[in-house]
Amino acid sequence: MKKEDQEKTKDKPLVDIVTKKEIAKIGMTVSMGLTVLSAFNLRSRFSKNLHIISGAALVGFSFYHNSLYDKSEKKPTSIKK
């Protein structure tokens, strides 16, 4: 029985693709909010560093979110008549 359970857990990922996409969207939202809020007060050193770090996090989450989508699933860009 233990070997069968181990084989089942090997095939199943810890987090499914929908949850990964939601985590990426939440990360993009939070980092965008921090980027916008820190832009109001760029005179302090803390705010400048927060602005740069949250901007880099936004780029990272965007790239991660984009990599979660299958490249073969292209949506049509124009409607054929």
Q: State which H helix or E strand residue 29 sits in.
A: helix 17-39
CA distance 43 to 46: 9
**Does the residue 51 lie in any domain?**
yes
**Does the residue 24 lie in any domain?**
yes
pLDDT of residue 81: 60
Q: What tokens appear for 55 in the block?
A: 């901007």
**Does the residue 29 lie in any domain?**
yes
Domain membership of residue 19 as a residue range: 15-67
**Does the residue 80 lie in any domain?**
no
Q: Using an 8 Å Cβ cutoff, are 22 and 52 in contact?
A: no
Report whether pLDDT(1) > 70.
Answer: no
**Does the residue 2 lie in any domain?**
no
CA distance 44 to 64: 30
pLDDT of residue 37: 95
Q: State which H helix or E strand residue 66 sits in.
A: helix 45-67
**Does the residue 78 lie in any domain?**
no
**Does the residue 10 lie in any domain?**
no
Q: What is the pLDDT of residues 3-30, one digit of tens each?
A: 666 666 667 788 899 999 999 999 999 9
Q: Indicate the number of domains in the chain.
A: 1
